[in-house]
Structure 1
């Protein structure tokens, strides 16, 4: 399982690190805090003062850990109103109002009037900055006229509340920084939804990305591991005045915080004194099933299954076609309608689950589980029920479609789903009938059946023996073993093997009239199997710059992949010295044949281009996240995007692809493959690749599709030397629409085009941690209401790294035809 990197929001400038204390933890009306001075809490846990984020000269008032060697800010006052010069001050007025003023003595932030007569502000050892009366007041939370804990930024500290004050309507939530140099509220946030049975959501703009599930006593339903955390205490308070979550640490020597980082991940971090670093203790979302409702209504997600989505007993896919293509978002529908009037409905128990979304549920803590069942049966709208507390007691009832249901390997709960009588025990009835049928068939047709099975087994063994013999010519056995060890199922390559005669006949003996093109791998030919099936044959040339490794990689990898936006490998031919791959034929050939040809580019209107962009995004999302394997393509480019007769895109050429292990975040290689112009800076320069490398290539593709122009092969800092620099310059100037290909004309949805350009610029940002994941990209492309962060400068590569440059990275002009990358190479 991939663990996201620890996110340190900023580094303080030396002026903050070596600032002077004003003599304690108090701020009074007669003694303001000036830039360069700090307050330090009585026990030395926290420090308050002015700071500048990394790569920024702006000044903010914030609180950071005093005893932690890595500067870590946990709260920012004027996060949306920075001061441009280090001449600001923080003061408290005579009525208890905190005020931040800039170099011109202009107020840029204030806490609001507190109505006090003798106020002071104090920094507590908890990290809370409070305003109270100077005399006669305790340090209890109820005695504070104002406190920073009521206005969190991206961090939840021990004792802080995440949730609502129902009396004052104060909503305490966490909001990520915009980026490491800007603490202004960013795209991601975490907030408590009080509707139904309250639960906490991680949000991307207004879109729900992950949820904790409801509080079920000692923990949230969606975080079963919480009950194993012996060093923490967790509390969830729900009364007429407040609904909130908070945590505390039992061991005073442990330093821990909960954050929402700018990548859209919520993390619990702990400080390791020995290594002087922050360590990830827990994070979410973790896996494919952590997304909100990936399997739709009445679907259930299980990461141990492939595909991960299944329908509950008594339900079937709403869209069988999409379901077969591993898209379960439409969910499931009942096989049999409920019959509430006659009282014949019952319940099936679903074990070890995260309870469904409770936003539209009702809760009655006075009911037992049996009473809960009876109440559900009396309510014709009730679809499911469960215990509201893992220790028993309480009742949650759902009266609408149940969504976002997932299975845990341990620590889940029982959910009772309402079914019609006909669907109750249907599995056991079916098994009983099957056994009877098997006995009858066995007694009547036993000899014939056994003979037929024996024939099938013999044919299958012969076919596998032929494939194994062919593969052994290539030395594939050790490769296959390594492949299996990386997590694939089975040990057989279930891929048809064609004999050479069949391929010779299909291509008219590799006739020149059937030749589609030629590149680094070798020539590509069009052919026909039988009367109807058109194919493309990729033939490895003896002089090929791509070799046996790439051939084996593509055979072993793409044969395992099935998605409507990936090209389909039909089989292979390995005979003598011949090595060929047989693909489905793509009549519209490759994307670059349209994009960079002025005559053909006019055939690509904006809707077609947008559909191509969305299709590529879905294909990449499948490779990165939804397939049984986790795959980095490493050579995504226009020539490797094929177009079928409806102009639907299909990603091709997996010779350079790499399978990632479940816990790998990035890999360093000394053999860089791919194509300049599409390679991310960290890959081209340092040989480091990850899913974010493909994201970068996707961003380049989107800009090429939008503009109809190629990106150049080598990056320089001058903005006019490549497409990325040109697009960035136009975007900053507010002239993004000037990038649009003239071939499109002037009839296109401007908002949609600008959104695609902005998504592309987010994808090609220099630092991989700034780039979105493909799941976020798909969400941003498909949502008109999504709030996109402002992109940073694209990455530019000026030099080569100290490693081998693969020949496939040579200067080239792409001429891909059909379902593969046909690359014409030129000497340097």
Structure 2
């Protein structure tokens, strides 16, 4: 048998295969399922495909040289084929047609009027219809995008044809049909891009400022990219180009309603999320309402602009700023006394109803605003040339959706009445008046304080004479809370009848039981008016007793923050002690985080929002509330999640009020949960705000990894999550910590930043750990200037609870999520 013919065939086969690879469909040569087109530069491939976990067949375009099939365009996204007998062809009139086995047309394009049409896949990923002799493009897939914007694609409106190209997310990973999430250019006023969920706007880019969209300040830091925005009589479009050919990048609206830019990492074989939005609470559309300013680095995040005051002060106290702000003083258009206050580093307000002139100077813009009685603010339309910029954006409506950045953004000039402008400047001749006013206010406050003290003493005597069971409100004193408390506070709050609680929970039925902790069982209930509640019932065998019950009532009733669970009232009847809370639909964080079947529901955006929310809640407790409060039992099971997965800190039974001059306290009664307690607290009984910071750091690492701070990690020497994380950090392998449930879909720079923050918070020495105010700022920064962490606590030695208990200690220790109480012997 001669081998040479076989060898020749083997050598020529690859060449023959390559030569037969095509990028074109002609009238007589359709594309059947199983065949593909490959662009001339081998960058893209077109053919029939089935999405993940689906048997349906679609015609799509995907990257040819990337190991993970990534579809960037789908033709028949609403009309799948159930089998593998579909065909894509081009008709003699230039119309593209997808047919099934029985020749039924399930998708087609309009006729083009070409005489000899062909359909060709270009190396940009664009699938076009044109004349055979390389004539002009009559139809192109770039005009009908799916969920992806590729380099060179135009996003926005053709004002001549009326075509507005937008990106619409898939319904799911297995269904490319259009979902409710889409991004589209709004060409009114000063054009900007909005992200929508159905009919609701959920995020916007802000207008183009000559360099970037004002709501995406990161754009100017991108290397290897070129961004373009065209606004003329023919079109208003945005596009990007890649200068570095080694970079593969795409812009996508995903099925979770997130706008994100991804870069392909060849070495890792993954798409890495480079940027995404919405990212923080200030990215939501107008979280602070009209004339409010959102700053994610502040707590609370919403403030009114200069010259404005909250429309609903009570709602603002509850951290609900959606009502916005109103003017202190009406504008004076007649006498011309109005002026302007500057909001620096701003994302400009919603510009869909504004006036735009690209040729005016900023001074001309100011004059025009003062001459128009309806004008509320103005700004430069283009700041690319430096200085004050050129062009004019002028608002004649109320200002909404304003946020500020640390360094980015631009100046916004808000029109104010003269009285509100004067209120911000303190001239020397007014200082004496201000001092006199301050003295009067101080004396009035002192008199009020004395009057309140007298009323308090009288009321206290009346309550004692009234006897038990005769009041309609609960009254506790902080000297009853625990042995460490030294202050007294009276509190009145709603009392619920035991019968109402029993009815609401259907007799505290097992079906309504949400869970159980050291305090006792928690039940879901529904009041007569339909309000859903959570009822925490003190168990007779509870390791937390009446002191903790009273402590929680005292503390949480006085606290109001969007990231703290809200106490609605309590029930005290006979031996029953219950706390009534707002109901949290998604229960606690640990339910999702440590359950592999549910952890996939926590994408990175949700996890990051949870981290930020916990940080802001702790900052409020430590710094912004009327008391300085140490929680002392921060853990995943004490972080509750509402319907939108927003975190709320709960369970204040172990919390402690600090005095104004107290920095730390030493206690003989150690409370908390194993794995979350700071070393100085667990070993020496010393706690401070830095104890909560340590617990927060553990939580951050648990949220990133999806694992508890307990057990052996990879190597037998790793006793816990902190040791494991510290090892990966030193080996520059931090991303190996990330929960597999995220499936590599996360921004690596942001994850590394959070790991660094987590390690900074769990450092062994309390003085090395940051305050929560610094943590909130770190979360809002790019992470480049953060300090390097030192060794975590418990990283190099076993904890005292991992050895046998000393006979000099009385222990009440329950591991996992149960609270620990240890009383040190003398």
TM-based fold match above 0.5: yes
* Alignment counterpart, residue 399 of structure 1, candidates 391, 396, 401: 396
Structure 1 residues 547 and 94: alpha-carbon distance in aligned structure 2, compared to 1, 3 A threshold: farther
Q: How far off its partner does 1:633 sit?
A: 7.3
TM-score, normalised with respect to structure 1: 0.59
Report the equivalent of 1:677. Answer: none
**Cα distance between partner residues in 2 of 1:85 and 1:558:** 62
Task: Count how many residue pairs are aligned between Structure 1 and Structure 2.
Answer: 562
| 1:242 counterpart residue number | 235
Retained in 1: the 8 A contact 2:564–2:650?
Answer: no
Q: State the secondary structure of the residue aligned to 1:424.
A: helix
Identify if the C-alpha distance between structure 1 residues 29 and 549 changes in structure 2 by more than 3 Å, giving closer, same or farther. farther
Give the secondary-structure state (helix, strand or coil) at the position aligned to 2:366.
helix
Give the conservation status (yes or no) of the 8 Å contact 2:189–2:354.
Answer: yes
Deviation at 1:206, TM superposition (A): 1.2
Query: Does residue 199 of the first structure (1) align with residue 192 of the second (2)?
Result: yes
Selected match of 2:617 from 619, 629, 635: 629
Equivalent residue for 2:356?
363
What are the equivalent positions in structure 2 for 1:18-29 lying under 5 Å apart?
A: 23-29=21-27
Which of 44, 56, 76 in structure 2 is aligned with 1:78? 76
Q: SS state of the match for residue 397, structure 1?
A: strand
The alignment's C-alpha RMSD in Å is 5.2
Contact 2:23 2:120 in 1 (8 A): yes
Deviation at 1:325, TM superposition (A): 1.2
Aligned CA distance change for structure 1 residues 688 and 71 (closer, same or farther; 3 Å): closer
Number of the residue aligned with 1:147: 140
Report if the CA contact (8 A) 1:129-1:148 is conserved: yes
Segments of structure 1 that go 5 or more residues without pairing to the other structure are 1-18, 138-142, 457-465, 474-492, 507-515, 525-535, 572-579, 593-620, 642-649, 673-686, 692-803, 809-828
- The 5-angstrom pairing of residues 446-525 of structure 1 reads 521=519
Q: Secondary structure at the match of 1:240?
A: coil
Task: Spell out the pairing of 1:27-42 with structure 2 (5 A cutoff).
Answer: 27-42=25-40
SS of alignment partner, residue 372 of structure 1: helix
Which of 220-229 and 543-552 deviates more? 543-552
Counterpart for residue 206 of structure 2: 213
- Deviation, 1:539, is 9.9
Higher RCO, 1 or 2 (CA under 8 Å, sep at least 6)?
1
> Against the structure 1 CA distance between its residues 57 and 229, is the aligned structure 2 distance closer, same or farther, given a 3 Å change threshold?
same
What residue number does 1:411 align with? 408
Residue 379 of structure 1: aligned partner = 372
Cα separation, 2, equivalents of 1:122 and 1:567: 61
Matched, 1:289 2:259: no
**Deviation (angstroms), 1:636:** 9.8
Name the residue aligned to 1:11: none
Task: Give the 3 Å change call, closer, same or farther, for CA 582–106 of structure 1 in structure 2.
Answer: closer
**Corresponding residue number in structure 2 for 1:186:** 179
Q: Deviations over 1:495-540 (max 9, x none)?
A: 96899xx9xxx9xxxxxxxxx999862699xxxxxxxxxxx99997
2:655 paired with 1:667: no
> Structure 1 residue 122: deviation in Å?
0.8
Could you tell me whether the CA contact under 8 Å between 1:495 and 1:559 is conserved in 2?
no
1:68 to 63, 66, 69: 66
Provide the rounded CA distance (Å) in 1 between the counterparts of 2:37 and 2:53.
25
The alpha-carbon distance between structure 1 residues 294 and 637, as it changes in their structure 2 partners (threshold 3 A), is closer
Deviation at 1:23, TM superposition (A): 2.4
Per the TM alignment, residue 171 of structure 1 is displaced from its structure 2 partner at its CA by 1.2
1:336 to 324, 329, 336: 329
**In structure 2, what is the equivalent of residue 132 of structure 1?**
130
Secondary structure of 2:424 counterpart: helix
Q: 1:39 & 1:61 partners in 2: Cα distance?
A: 11
Alpha carbons of structure 1 residues 305 and 805: separation in structure 2 relative to 1, 3 Å: closer
Greater Cα offset, 359-368 or 427-436:
427-436
Matched-pair contact (CA < 8 Å) for 1:46–1:127: yes
- Residues 350 and 414, structure 1, Cα contact 8 Å, conserved in 2: yes
Q: Tell me by how many angstroms 1:428 deviates.
A: 2.7
Deviations 1:630-689 (A, max 9, x none): 899748999x99xxxxxxxx99757799965499457323889xxxxxxxxxxxxxx999
Q: In the alignment, is the contact (CA less than 8 A) between 2:27 and 2:118 conserved in 1?
A: yes
When normalised by structure 2's length, the TM-score is 0.59
Equivalence map 1:361-760=2 (5 Å):
361-390=354-383, 391=385, 392-429=389-426, 433=430, 436-438=433-435, 521=519, 543-544=541-542, 561-562=560-561, 566-568=565-567, 625=613, 628-629=616-617, 634=637, 661=700, 664=703, 667-669=706-708
Identify the residue that residue 119 of structure 1 maps to in structure 2.
117
Gaps of 5+ in 2: 1-16, 454-476, 496-504, 509-515, 523-533, 571-575, 586-608, 619-633, 654-672, 677-694, 712-737, 743-814, 820-826
Shift of 1:567: 3.8
- 3-state secondary structure, aligned to 1:373: helix
Partner of 2:170: 177
The C-alpha deviation readout for 1:38-96, integer Å capped at 9, x for no partner, is 00111111000000111211100000011111111000000001011110010011121
Counterpart secondary structure, 1:423: helix
Residue 340 of structure 1: SS of its match in structure 2?
coil
CA contact (8 A) 1:46 1:65 kept: yes
Taking structure 1 as reference, are residues 581 and 494 closer, same or farther at Cα in structure 2, changes over 3 Å only?
A: farther
2: CA distance between counterparts of 1:636 and 1:369? 49
Partner deviation per Cα, 1:780-821 (whole Å, 9 max, x = no partner)? xxxxxxxxxxxxxxxxxxxxxxxx98689xxxxxxxxxxxxx
1:308 corresponding residue in structure 2: 301
